[in-house]
Structure 1
Amino acid sequence: MRDQNRESESNKVYVMRVKYLGSFLAVLYAIIFLESCTGSSKDNLPERIPNEISYNFDVRPILSDKCLACHGPDANKREAGLRLDIAEEAYRALKENPSAHAIVPGKPELSQMYLRISTTDTSMQMPPKSSNLRLSAYEIDLLKAWIKQGAKYEKHWAFTVPKKPALPAVKKEGWSKNEIDLFILARQEQKGLSPNEEADQERLLKRLSLDLTGLPPTLAMMDGFVANQNANAYEKVVDKLLASPEYGERMALPWLDVARYSDSYGYQMDNYRSQWPWRDWVIHALNKNISYKDFITWQLAGDLIPNANKEQLLATGFNRNHKITEEGAVDEEEYRITYVTDRSDTFGKALLGVTMECAHCHDHKYDPFSQKEYYQMFSFFNNVNEMRATYTAIDPSVGKPESFAKKPMMEISNEDVKSILKFVNKPDTSRLIVSVMGDLDTTRKTYVLKRGVFNAYGDQVQPGTPKSILPFDPKYPKNRLGLAQWLFDKRNPLTARVFVNRMWQEFFGRGIVKTSGDFGMQGELPTHPALLDWLAVDFMEHNWDMKRLVKQVVMSATYRQSVVVTPEKRDADPENIYLARSPRYRIQAEFIKDLVLSSSGLLVKTIGGPSVKPYQPEGLWESATAGGDVMLSVYRQDHGASLYRRGMYTFVKRTVPPPSMGIFDASNRDLCEISRQKTNTPLQALVMMNDPTVLEASRVLADRLLSEKSETKAKITKAFRMIICRTPTDKEIAVLTEYYAGEAKSMNIKQAERLLSVGEYPQSNKADKKLLVAMMRVISTIYNLEEAITKT
């Protein structure tokens, strides 16, 4: 089966892709239409009422979806005075009928909730017909059974302090590599599944290298790993990749999405900002493996740490990465409130994994967060000495601004990069200013904002945190440093869970909690709750060590599985929730560029420094620019080494993000983004076939291969290994060799010269142009194989 899978990929040559694209789309749309009409087989399976019904995992999701919008935490939207998310409220006599109760534990026939959801009388039925919500027969039966069992409420699972569960017993012996596998295998055995065999060495090395560095393995790495038969060969490769400088770059990328990092301010003017030294710090911190506790504390409150140094101050750029307006005639206070809102919402989503922003205008409709609690957290970020982003004039005699209206700011001098900030890749002696945090000398008052309106003041509030998560301890200072201490309090139920879940997402494509930015009642339930808690507690017990956590995951047998899927496994677990196979999905947009540049030999591995402007279609910036900064009104492409930097260093202008990156689902960095979408569109195929970087890389690699003294078959084999990261089958080589011969024979010189003109990297002028273009097309075809940019 595996050989058949390999052979099928080689037949997808460049010409065939173009020829059959239209028919492929027609078939695809037909399948989508049929599925939407018929539904999946999974939807038609009968569901069985559990013997012991869990409020958290069985009942709460139904209430949250169908009932809590009108009978939940939001007092302003609550109907009939009935609240169903709290036991004592649900058991209480009804406001409109004191002789009746919504829920009578053990007696569904006396429980108005059950009577109203099961009645066929539309005037009495709940949810009301006007809501367009309906409970299925299964949901009604489950709620009836729950009430009969005593209607026991539980605190929301994510708001309970995680405890390290006992390791589960499993039947299959000898498969597990570490504790992770015991939890995964136990769940598989419950579902009648069994894990896949380990992936072959070549595919496993590619997966590991992409996951830990964002780059494909070199030929030397491939040869060395395959030849090494020692029992610890895999672990040695893991340790080597974890210690590589590229590790920090790879792991920084998702954090840049979380931190909404960009190279421009956003909004209409969207001028340049120099926040890239903060990005350099993130890479440095991850490579140095500072604890997650310090990594977050410095970013939240590095400026408030006693005797803080410039590195800790630079880290606080995290809180200043949000959009900032530069337009005139705006209400300064309105935008200041917008900035504070962004910071507090990012804190909730990124670090707590909850949708606190839903309480900006009113009490949260689903989670136990009041509007007052929202503004209590808001107050931690409300004391920044912050104004608009415009500079005052620069005095040319001294090369310094007369004053800064943009506060607070930090200057990075040449002396700094020789000492405390050695990791900052400052390329010249120009003045370098970074936005950081700094509070006012006196505390700014914070008020509840009625309906979220910036100047509609309600009651004054003091710094605080949601009681449902963890009340704010009076021993902590009432500032951002105290908030960081609260965040890493061992009693905080969310911090560790949210981070290990996000790391799991990085390696398996989805988190144990799929909604990695929402652990609340509207979020999805964890697929492996015991594993999530075990990892969270273990992470805390080992001093929040991020590299150790990463190594645990990639050393597991779960991670090492083959991606091969049988029809039986696909039908039993189509979403691969139980991980009886390794997930297969396309790598991130930036890593696609990295793979192309690295495999062709074009990649410039310089770490850090200002962002670069590679190839981009003409006129994009100009058509979307509203004047302002001359620097960003016109796209001025870089040249030389800057064209071949890693994708994460591509200049991100918020109003016009890099188009090729966006097509492959990269973030535009407007807001905090916890996980990227995964789409599959024809535009992605067109990028791979026509993007100048891909064509240039194909030309350069072809030129280098043709300069080597080897047979055509050996050259194509080498190209295939460098890009796909495995040895091709005989059938694949035969198809590609035949394609090469046909292209060399049919190529005319004018067509060859036009293709060879793509890209600025110089040609050797030694190779025959027809042969060079023929080899270039073979390599371009290999880049366009699905397997090239897919983690397998």
Structure 2
Amino acid sequence: MSARGSMVGQFKNDRRLRGGVIFLCVPLLALNLGPTADGANLTPEQIDFFERKVRPVLASNCYSCHSAEVSTPFANLRLDSRTGILRGGDSGPAMVPGNSGASRLVQAIRYASGLKMPPAGKLTEDEIEVLVRWIEMEAPWPDELEPEISLQTEQFDLGARRQGHWSWQPIQSNTPPEIAAVQHPVDRFLTAGLNENGLQPAVTTNRRTLIRRIYFDLTGLPPSPEEIRRFIEDQDPNAYRRLVDRLLASPRFGEHWARHWMDWVRYAESHGSEGDPDIPDAWRYRDYVIRAINNDVPYDQLIREYLAGDLLPTPRINGLDGINESILGTAHFRMVEHGFQPVDPLEDHVNSLENQIDVFSKAFQGLTVSCARCHDHKFDAISQKDFYAVLGTLRGMRPIQTVIDTPERVYKNHTEMAALKGKIKMALVEVWLDQANGLANDLIAATPSTPFIERSACNKGDALYPWAILSSKQGREFSVTWDALADAVKSDFRNNQNFNHKMTTGGWDLRGQDYTGWFKQGVGLPKHPSRPGGFWITTEGEEVLNGIYPAGVYSHGLSRKHPGVLQSPRFKVESDSISLRLLGGNFSAAKLVVENYPLGIFAVGIYDQGFAPKKDRMTWATWDTKFWKGFEAYIEIATLDDRTNFRLDSVDFFRTPKPKPEGDGRSFFGVAEVIFHNGDQPPRGELVPALHLLRSPMPDKEAALAIRYQQLLIAAIEGWRDDNLSELQALFLDDFVRNGFLETSIEKLPDIALHVTRFRQLEEIIPIPRRAPGVLAETLPPQPLLIRGNHKNPGEPVPPRYLEALDGDEYKDPRTTRLRLAEEVASINNPLTARVIVNRLWYHIFGRGIVSTVDNFGKLGEKPTHPELLDYLAAHFIQQEFSIKKMVQFLVTTEAYRRSTEASAASIEKDPTNSLLQHMPLRRIGAEAIRDAMLTISGQLDRTMYGESVKAYYVQLANLDDPAVDGLPKGDEHKGPLDGDRRRSVYLAVRRNVANPLLEVFDAPKPATARGQRDVTNVPAQSLTMMNSPFVILQATKWAETLVAELHDTVRARVKKMFVQALGREPSTDEIDRVETFLVDAAEERQIASGEILSSQLVWQDLAQAIFNFKEFLYIR
């Protein structure tokens, strides 16, 4: 037997460590196959999958013929209950749980046999896959009675359900029972329950156990040996209270409890599905939660920020960091799973909204509101109209990246830069007018080889093209050529106008009033469109500016660092194509957002309605929109960091090497028009600079033409000076600037150089805007009720409101629906809000909720074990102004919390589940705490707070060169370090398709729905992980390195130190003896001399890893 294996035998007789090494030699027969699929033991994921995926498919496609809704189900087959499906109909059982291939139901929906169901048309491949996957999962179905056919006409009685269930009733102000010698109100309630059942509370635990318990519960980290020593030696009666207050004030409290919140809101940093695309800057929401909990922001305020942080009239400002904290609260709305290029994005959108309702209603109300998508709730006072009223409240949100900086930071240097830009312009006007006054002479003196003439001669649209052609003509040849040029340009102008008029079916002219109807965000976007003549001052190089812009909307009037998101009104796609006239660079992009699907601009496929402009001059981009006819959509134009996802467009995607953003925060765009049109050809440009000249009367000779040019240029410069340029004048002036006739070199403009230098200095120190996932509110008509939950079968509109059982009134003002919802949920009159949160806090302190189903206060949930105590705590929480820290302090200072985990014989007999809390339960620490404890004990933990998440560590798949296979990233650029940069687990990236293997095996939940209570499994994979995980081995190695570096230790002293570091206690003499035997065996196995044991890293590494495997290390008493 190996040395590590022998530790099992050596420690098996120790009472405190009975079963102490739980993960070393576990037989495969102990494999936990999970709960059965036909009752109350379902996991939340199974219930969520059934309610969100399976039941809607069955209800929409099968219930009309195979349910209690019909007096005689077709073929005597019922598909509205698991019992009915297993019983089957005339042909026998409809399914074999776990074997979809042998299930008649699957054969029928695949049209693989003579029976083809539904007969009206085959289900979609996605719907078929849902039912196949469900059957392979053993067909999980919530524990509910089979509907009776006789009930088909029974009315849904919401009032009766509300009156008949405890959680809908108002919170009662209960008085704690009077019990002698019991002071804490909570203990009085609990003691009364024990007394009624003839039980005595367990004794108070020892200080070593208590400090380890409170440290893990409040900070998720183990106490240091020095902290343990100080607490044990502190004889002050208030020592424990001071310890609690110190831990509550520790920043580690927020890190630990933020992870609980992140479970509640299914925090994620990617969207899942194929490719697992990022949610940019999602980590800022995690940091927001940590700050909020550490600052003890009232819970009702956090609810308001969760639902409507972007709409609060007085947002919560973090003056220290210059952050609008409230707007960060809505980031969770973006943390939904999205399908990969869904053919039906409306279905994806409705599913996303359903998930948001599911998470919100479970997390803050303890209700399963999403179960009412297809029908009135089977058990609770929640109607189908309730579901769509809430969905309509949340529907008016568009996904965006929102700037979280305060105005002071956003507008840094804005005033001075604007003033300098004005001075630079006036100085340029003076120089340019002087140059323009000599234009006639310059033209006459020019030759065909003069650079600006040579360039213009190659482009018929250039302002100087007529000069290049006419300057060598004389007499009649001059006039004939003039007429030909003028006729050609004017003819092109008329033809292009006619073409555009015939093809156009609608659109927006963003140079005028249409701009007011678009959604705008970002300091870069002006209140009004820019008149012709806008320009951008360069931030490097010799040129002051690149050119003169036509009328339009520009994000970079002062700086390309300034953020900008421009979105059109929502519209139904009815044209073959959409074209935009725009400019831009640094990976700004325009995209068509169909049904709020945020992951557009794919290189190939149906979502290639994106364009990343790469020029500083306006050009047309055209999208093929025939596939999307009938869908609702809007257009988004955004700078690089304001895009909701970064994907290369179809041009850049196929370049080698692929271009990458520079990362300096600079990006820009400008846009003038959006045109809906039929056919594939883009609109034709109507105006060219030469038109400005050729519209004027014909000059009689070369000299007169040169003077005409001079006059037109002077007029254009003066118009620019006076902000009174026409579009043609702007094009004309721009041509002279870009062709180098008008001076823009800083070196040759000494009077301007100082202004430009100062402008660039100010621009350089503008902070790059900080962004986070967010939403943009829009006003929409009421949401139709979707019959049987089918998004293709809308019924009557349902006005937005909250649940009828909570007296939800219609929200009359569509602009404030989410704000109204937030106020109703956060209200002290809401009977659920305070009950749900204090029950969650109780669960995390005591290991079991007063309502054990912490996410479900409905009829299928458990009843409270101490209803009077629950209401007392809820009322107390409200009185304490929704303070989470005060409630946690209130709970951990009870005698109940300080009790031993030793159950009395009477308690085991009378209350085997410990629902009366006779003793503290033995609890395994969370997955993150296990990892963080190993880092702490090994001396490796980096306690740096906040910042971008550490990339996920995963095992690289071999021989796969694709960018993504099954959603897993490939290549080291996507892979994080094994030790997670030694950061706390809360700072590790949470991706849907790539989970940290250690956290996953110890039940860290997948970010699918609200998880108030994690699974606590005991499976062989955990023992294998603790024995073989490279991370565990690495931490054991680092711990051993630290130990052997201390040369003056003895074996016994070192063993004592290790026990205190890992377990919070010293070993017994017997334990030390057996550890010494273990060390000798380990040294012999590794062929290390007995005299070298103390200095052998490998031997102590073996012991360190063995201690990591102790049950006592993984559990808190």
TM-score (norm 2): 0.53
Q: After superposition, give the CA deviation of every residue in 1:466-502 in whole Å (9 maximum; x if it has no partner).
A: 2223333879985111111111222211000011011
User: 1:368-387 alignment to 2 at 5 Å?
Assistant: 368-386=381-399, 387=596
Residues 630 and 658 (structure 1), Cα distance of their counterparts in 2 relative to 1, 3 Å cut:
closer
User: What is aligned with 1:502?
Assistant: 840
Secondary structure of 1:748's aligned partner: coil
User: What is aligned with 2:780?
Assistant: 443
User: What is aligned with 1:338?
Assistant: 351
Q: CA separation in 2, counterparts of 1:595 and 1:623?
A: 37
Residues 780 and 229 (structure 1), Cα distance of their counterparts in 2 relative to 1, 3 Å cut:
same
Residues 394 and 222 (structure 1), Cα distance of their counterparts in 2 relative to 1, 3 Å cut:
farther
User: What is aligned with 1:401?
Assistant: 639
Contact 1:445 1:460 in 2 (8 A): yes
User: What is aligned with 2:920?
Assistant: 582
User: 1:479-498 alignment to 2 at 5 Å?
Assistant: 479-498=817-836
User: What is aligned with 2:1018?
Assistant: 680
Deviation, structure 1 residue 515: 1.0
Residues 475 and 334 (structure 1), Cα distance of their counterparts in 2 relative to 1, 3 Å cut:
closer
Q: CA separation in 1, counterparts of 2:943 and 2:13?
A: 32
User: What is aligned with 1:212?
Assistant: 218
Deviation, structure 1 residue 394: 6.0
Stretches of structure 2 lacking an aligned partner (at least 5 in a row) = 1-10, 36-66, 72-143, 149-159, 318-323, 400-595, 602-609, 617-637, 647-662, 667-765
Pairwise CA RMSD: 3.7
Deviation, structure 1 residue 527: 0.4
Corresponding residue to 2:171 among 141, 162, 168: 162
User: What is aligned with 2:250?
Assistant: 244
Q: After superposition, give the CA deviation of every residue in 1:640-676 in whole Å (9 maximum; x if it has no partner).
A: 9843111222222212322221211111112222211
- Counting matched residue pairs gives 641
Contact 2:336 2:352 in 1 (8 A): yes
Which residue type is aligned with residue 178 of structure 1?
H
Alignment pair present for 1:459 and 2:806: no
Stretches of structure 1 lacking an aligned partner (at least 5 in a row) = 34-75, 81-129, 135-150, 416-427, 753-766
Corresponding residue to 2:288 among 259, 281, 285: 281
Which residue type is aligned with residue 293 of structure 2?
L
Greater Rg over alpha carbons, structure: 2
Which residue type is aligned with residue 604 of structure 1?
D
Alignment pair present for 1:390 and 2:600: yes
Contact 1:472 1:486 in 2 (8 A): no
Q: CA separation in 2, counterparts of 1:612 and 1:165?
A: 47
User: 1:336-375 alignment to 2 at 5 Å?
Assistant: 336-375=349-388
User: Which structure carries more helix by proportion?
Assistant: 1
Residues 511 and 204 (structure 1), Cα distance of their counterparts in 2 relative to 1, 3 Å cut:
same
Contact 1:390 1:406 in 2 (8 A): no
Contact 1:349 1:355 in 2 (8 A): yes
Contact 1:248 1:283 in 2 (8 A): yes
Contact 2:215 2:247 in 1 (8 A): yes
Contact 2:266 2:359 in 1 (8 A): no
Residues 455 and 620 (structure 1), Cα distance of their counterparts in 2 relative to 1, 3 Å cut:
farther
Corresponding residue to 1:296 among 277, 300, 303: 303
Which residue type is aligned with residue 448 of structure 1?
L
Contact 2:306 2:330 in 1 (8 A): yes
Deviation, structure 1 residue 506: 0.8
Of residues 699-708 and 305-314 in structure 1, the stretch that sits farther from structure 2 once superposed is 305-314
User: What is aligned with 2:206?
Assistant: 200
Residues 698 and 771 (structure 1), Cα distance of their counterparts in 2 relative to 1, 3 Å cut:
same
User: 1:101-140 alignment to 2 at 5 Å?
Assistant: none
Secondary structure of 1:364's aligned partner: coil
Q: After superposition, give the CA deviation of every residue in 1:138-176 in whole Å (9 maximum; x if it has no partner).
A: xxxxxxxxxxxxx99953110011111121133xx43x3
User: What is aligned with 1:706?
Assistant: 1044
Corresponding residue to 2:911 among 545, 552, 573: 573
Q: CA separation in 1, counterparts of 2:161 and 2:852?
A: 26
User: What is aligned with 1:121?
Assistant: none
Deviation, structure 1 residue 10: 4.9
Q: After superposition, give the CA deviation of every residue in 1:41-84 in whole Å (9 maximum; x if it has no partner).
A: xxxxxxxxxxxxxxxxxxxxxxxxxxxxxxxxxxx96899xxxx
Residues 631 and 430 (structure 1), Cα distance of their counterparts in 2 relative to 1, 3 Å cut:
farther
Q: After superposition, give the CA deviation of every residue in 1:250-292 in whole Å (9 maximum; x if it has no partner).
A: 0011111111111211122212223001111000000011100
User: 1:737-756 alignment to 2 at 5 Å?
Assistant: 737-748=1076-1087
Q: CA separation in 2, counterparts of 1:13 and 1:302?
A: 48
Q: CA separation in 2, counterparts of 1:272 and 1:462?
A: 34
Of residues 638-647 and 210-219 in structure 1, the stretch that sits farther from structure 2 once superposed is 638-647
Which residue type is aligned with residue 335 of structure 2?
N
Contact 2:23 2:1024 in 1 (8 A): no
Residues 782 and 718 (structure 1), Cα distance of their counterparts in 2 relative to 1, 3 Å cut:
same
User: What is aligned with 1:182?
Assistant: 188
Contact 1:364 1:371 in 2 (8 A): yes
Q: CA separation in 2, counterparts of 1:473 and 1:535?
A: 31
Deviation, structure 1 residue 200: 0.5
User: What is aligned with 1:785?
Assistant: 1110
User: What is aligned with 2:867?
Assistant: 529
User: What is aligned with 2:516?
Assistant: none
Corresponding residue to 2:332 among 315, 318, 330: 318
User: What is aligned with 1:648?
Assistant: 986
Contact 2:665 2:768 in 1 (8 A): no
Residues 187 and 78 (structure 1), Cα distance of their counterparts in 2 relative to 1, 3 Å cut:
farther
Which residue type is aligned with residue 985 of structure 2?
G
User: What is aligned with 1:138?
Assistant: none
Secondary structure of 1:162's aligned partner: coil
Secondary structure of 1:438's aligned partner: strand
Alignment pair present for 1:715 and 2:1054: yes
Residues 475 and 499 (structure 1), Cα distance of their counterparts in 2 relative to 1, 3 Å cut:
farther
Alignment pair present for 1:619 and 2:957: yes
Deviation, structure 1 residue 561: 0.5
Which residue type is aligned with residue 221 of structure 2?
L
Residue identity (%): 30
Q: CA separation in 1, counterparts of 2:350 and 2:337?
A: 12
Q: CA separation in 1, counterparts of 2:959 and 2:194?
A: 51
Residues 394 and 219 (structure 1), Cα distance of their counterparts in 2 relative to 1, 3 Å cut:
farther
Deviation, structure 1 residue 564: 1.1
Contact 2:258 2:293 in 1 (8 A): yes
Deviation, structure 1 residue 307: 5.0
User: What is aligned with 1:91?
Assistant: none
Which residue type is aligned with residue 582 of structure 1?
M
Contact 1:621 1:656 in 2 (8 A): no
Q: CA separation in 2, counterparts of 1:726 and 1:201?
A: 10
Deviation, structure 1 residue 220: 1.3
Contact 1:247 1:287 in 2 (8 A): yes
Q: CA separation in 1, counterparts of 2:269 and 2:1079?
A: 43
Q: CA separation in 2, counterparts of 1:584 and 1:13?
A: 13
Contact 2:954 2:995 in 1 (8 A): no
